[in-house]
Structure 1
Amino acid sequence: MTTGARAATAGTASPRGLLIDRAWSRLGDAVAPLSNEAGRPLARTVKLILDPLVLRPVRHPEFAAGAVAAGHAEALADRIVEAGPVLAATAAWFLVLKKARRRAGITDGNPQDLYFQRCYELATVHGDPRLSPNAADRAGAVLAEVHDQDGPTVAGLRGFVTDPAHAPELARLLAEAWSDRPAPGGGATGPHPTAVGDFLDTCATKPDQALFDVLVARRVGARGAAELAGSGAARAHGLSDRDRPERPDLGESAAKQHLPKPFDRSIVERLFVPLTTAHRDALDDVPALVRQEIARSAGPWQLADEAGRVVLVLGRAAVAGLAGEVGCDAAVRLRGRWEREAYVRRALRMPSAVPESVRADVHGVREAYLRRLWVRTHGRELRRETVPADGLWDVLDGVLRSVILDQRDRLRSALERRAAG
């Protein structure tokens, strides 16, 4: 490590993103395809390659915090530098796959999302593609595996919804579904708080399938949706920007970077993300998907499966402890994970010391959590994947972990902009 880099790691803790940037800069032009214009690793490079495959903070929690202790800063940098040859080969494979993608005329999906981890795997197993006579064949095999799946496509979705032969029928089904919506919660006042609390008290350590089944049988999820009916309630949950959810449009197009909040999305937008993932081969065909989504959009929590609705109610109760009183074991655990984050502690204790966008993230974590939980539950429902009681804690905890990773990325970008300014 250079003298300047060593000096930066001495003394107090250093922001994790800055340490990663310094180490990355030592890898040079070989990793340019994985870097931004400033020579720093792309956000997806950190999220898809450095974190899960190089730094591995689950096994090395000393690398996981927003600020890395001085005693671990040099080890973090060394780990990235030592991975330099594999990262350079990863970057080279990414260029090979992009070239093959263009030749094949493939336009679906983001190449970074689809190929980054596959390129790292190729680099680890086969080394630099420029030294491999079979690089083109291997790239073609990866593209075939990623893209040549059975299942619906975004192009098929758009074509079906906008086809004059189908659009009138779909518009009629949408109007009927929303005109026949049941009363929120079926007239009940809300979920049974004791039953919800009992499950959340044990789901992380001794999950009780029978108790979860009771919650489903009592329609705790549908009852819990009654709270969304009030003026501004869905907005307060982070699920809408409107005063009250409205009947969605069928829609024509969607863009991942500009998706509205879940309850404000068109039918096309609601199905867009599931159709761009590696799991689309588990989905129904486009006509069935669209008709099911129309019915789903009019249901409690805009979900069709009561078990999924129960997951939303449980998540709402567990995450409430991040901004208020902690009332159950799951809430204690989530709050503990949240409060261990250095940027969270700083934003809460010294708000003027962090960028305004970070303060907004910290104070809006409950809404961000519920949005992410809804998206994951919706995706599982589309794939007909049930959430067993013994896997529910992993879902609740994993959603918060994902929200934290996104907030760390935004914090890093904010600090970079501040430094540049």
Structure 2
Amino acid sequence: MSAATELTPPPPAPTASEALRPRAQVMIDAWLALDRDVAALSNGSGRPLARTVKLILEPLVIRPVQNPGLAGGALSADAAGQLHARILAAGPDLAATAAWFLRVKTVRRRLRVTEGNPQEKYFSRCFELARTVGMPGVDAEDRAVEVVTEIAQASGDSLLGRIRELLRDAHEVTRLEALLHERWAERTPPRALAPASEVIAAMLDTCPTGHADAAFEALRISDAGSAAASTLGDEGTARLLGLTAHASPPVPLIGSTASKRGLPRPFDRSIFERLFAALSGGAPVESDLDGDELLAEEIDRSALPWELADEHSRIMMLLGREVTGALDASGPAATTAAHRQLASRWNREAYVRRALRLPAEVSGVPASVLDDIHDVRQAYLRRLWVRMHGRELRGQVLGADDVWDTLDGVLRSVVMDQRQRLKIAMGRGMPAPALPGVA
């Protein structure tokens, strides 16, 4: 049991001649010894904020009910020493709490959550994260988003909360369903010609060096991204790309519920699930659109090529579809710089080489990760679509200089996700089978 939670016995009553120390001053002295590590929980003079004392130190560190000897307004030298030591012992937890609070505040701003005092809302949750997780790590953003979203939804003070409220209105849902079917009935196949393969190759050959402006502009002017979507309605095409589980993309539902752990493939998501995935994922929506306008905008987007609204986003889907051929062991040769660099990143992953070299039953790689390794194009394109969709909601227009960072970043994200899933599987005691030829 840590020093922050163990019980302390009541100290002996002080003698008449024993000097007593003000409890508040003991706490301040101990806090100042923690220095800058707890700055986010301190005031301008470096002392603990009133809410830090009220919400963290008293109930979670000192625990005066369990430790009555530390509860008085004036403490004996022995009790003062115990209190001082107790706060110092909690230093790592308090430093991690401060770090989590900074992360959570940043996400709160991005999600445009404004109601309530952030210290009141998040201090105890940040301490909980500090005790269970430690300092923020690679998944800190996702954890911070979960905290902010959960608390915001519980109090109904977020944009997502307002959207949920709209979807509880039967008349509003009926209006949105009519708009949805109207937009899908108006869908027409893209009229642009299929993009020239040499322009795509030039784009993928120059984007890693940052000299792709001319090729990117040629693709944009020719509506190449839209043209590349012309076959997505053909039976099986979008399914092969991992964007739907159906033979062809279905008309989405309006929906009213969603779970981050059970989201369907991009084209199979309801209108609400699409917004939920972006808004609960930390995407800062900078537009002035309110809930009903965001719903209408998402309905419009769902009926467009690649189910994306911006031609730049559609070009990225085209480029992603082309470049992921290099990640397939049986695919075409890596002909451009982008092909070669992505293939190199993918093939130097030890778990990928292991999964591709050994039979599934002896590779030690979980089945779900094996599926994503063998169908990496699908995992990649799903993540790329989500990233493009999020950028559109945030109003971030993608340019030529962003292309390589996006293509490479999506693969890094896929790799990190698979590594994490492997780590979790190993942590749960997944058996490591004996390998042929290995002692």
Structure 1 length normalisation: TM-score? 0.66
Question: 2:181 matched to 1:182?
Answer: no
Determine the structure 2 residue equivalent to 1:343: 351
Matching residue of 2:380: 369
Aligned residue identity for 2:364: V
3-state DSSP of counterpart to 2:228: helix
In structure 2, relative to structure 1, the CA distance for the partners of 1:86 and 1:103 (3 Å cut) is closer
Query: Contact conserved, 1:93 with 1:119, CA < 8 A, in 2?
Result: no
Following the alignment from structure 2 to structure 1, what is the Cα–Cα distance between the partners of residues 217 and 101?
A: 50
Against the structure 1 CA distance between its residues 87 and 281, is the aligned structure 2 distance closer, same or farther, given a 3 Å change threshold?
A: farther
Q: Higher Cα Rg: structure 1 or 2?
A: 2
Q: Deviations over 1:63-92 (max 9, x none)?
A: xxxxxxxxxxxxxxxxxxxxx998644555
Q: What is aligned with 2:338? A: 330
Correspondences of 1:83-98 after superposition (within 5 Å): 88-92=93-97
Pick from 342, 358, 379: which aligns with 2:369?
A: 358
| Pairing 1:392–2:397 present | no
The letter of the residue matching 2:174 is P
User: Cα–Cα, structure 1 residues 86 and 306, in superposed 2: closer, same or farther, change >3 Å?
Assistant: farther
Return closer, same or farther for 1:255/1:195 CA change in 2, 3 Å cut-off.
same
- Is 1:418 the equivalent of 2:418? no
The answer for the alignment partner of 2:108 in structure 1 is: none
- Relative to structure 1, the CA distance from residue 287 to residue 96 in structure 2 (aligned partners, 3 Å threshold; closer, same or farther) is closer
Q: Per-residue deviation at 1:350?
A: 1.8
Residue matched to 2:322: 317
Contact residue 152 and residue 158 of structure 2 kept, 8 A:
no
CA distance 1:354–1:104, shift in 2 (3 Å): closer
Aligned to 1:49: none
Shift of 1:156: 0.7
Letter of the 2:429 counterpart: R
1:95–1:311 Cα change, 3 Å: closer
Is the aligned partner of 1:262 residue 2:266?
A: yes
Instruction: Name the CA shift for 1:266/1:118 in 2 (closer, same or farther; >3 Å).
Output: farther
2:178 counterpart (157, 165, 172): 172
Say if 2:223 is the partner of 1:219: yes
Aligned twin of 1:20: none
1:26-105 to 2 correspondence within 5 Å?
88-92=93-97, 104=121
Structure 2 residue matching 1:252: 3-state secondary structure: coil
**How much identity, in percent, do the aligned residues show?**
39
SS at match of 2:231: helix
Q: 1:366 to 1:303 in 2, by over 3 A?
A: same
C-alpha contact (below 8 Å) 1:94/1:116 kept by paired residues? no
Residue 338 of structure 2 aligns with an amino acid whose one-letter code is A
Deviations 1:184-226 (A, max 9, x none): x3274x3221111110001001332232111011011011112
| 2: CA distance, partners of 1:249 / 1:102 | 38
Aligned residues: 312
Counterpart of 1:353, as a letter, is: S
Q: TM-score under structure 2 normalisation?
A: 0.63
Aligned 8 A contact 2:160 2:291 in 1: no
Per the TM alignment, residue 153 of structure 1 is displaced from its structure 2 partner at its CA by 1.6
Q: Supply the RMSD in Å over aligned alpha carbons.
A: 3.8
- Report which of the two has the higher share of helix: 1
When structure 1 is superposed on structure 2, of 268-277 and 388-397 the one drifting more is 268-277
Q: Using the TM superposition, give the Cα deviation of residue 270 of structure 1 relative to its aligned residue in structure 2, in angstroms.
A: 0.5
Structure 1 Cα separation of the partners of residues 262 and 369 of structure 2: 20
CA distance in 2, matches of 1:391, 1:300: 21
Q: Deviations over 1:148-169 (max 9, x none)?
A: 9xx9621111112332342222
Matched, 1:378 2:389: yes
| Corresponding position: 1:194 with 2:202 | no
Q: Is the 8 A contact 1:296 1:303 kept in 2?
A: yes
Match of 1:245 in 2: 249
1-structure distance, mates of 2:263, 2:3? 34
Does the aligned pair in 2 maintain the 1:152–1:280 contact within 8 Å?
A: no
User: In the superposition, relative to structure 1, how do residues 87 and 375 fare at CA in structure 2: closer, same or farther (>3 Å)?
Assistant: farther
SS at match of 2:170: coil
In 1, distance between residues paired with 2:158 and 2:379? 29
1:237-287 Cα distance to aligned partner (Å, 9 max, x none): 111111111111110111111111100000000000222244434143212
Q: Distance in 1 between matches of 2:206 and 2:400?
A: 10
| Residue of structure 1 in register with 2:294 after alignment | 289
Counterpart amino acid of residue 341 in structure 2:
R
Cα distance, 1:360–1:90 mapped onto 2, change above 3 Å = farther
Contact persistence 2:242–2:381 (CA under 8 A): yes
CA shift, 1:371, in A, is 0.4
Q: Distance in 1 between matches of 2:384 and 2:339?
A: 15
Structure showing greater relative contact order (alpha-carbon pairs closer than 8 Å, 6 or more residues apart):
1
1:30 and 1:91 in contact (8 A); partners too: no
- The amino acid that maps onto 2:291 is V
Name the amino acid aligned to 1:245.
Answer: P
**Compared CA separation, residues 85 and 29, structure 1 to 2 (3 A):** closer
SS at match of 2:395: coil
Q: Distance in 2 between matches of 1:403 and 1:316?
A: 15
SS in 2 for 1:318: helix
- Verify the 8 A CA contact 2:96 2:135 in the aligned structure 1: no
Q: Aligned partner of 1:212: which letter?
A: F
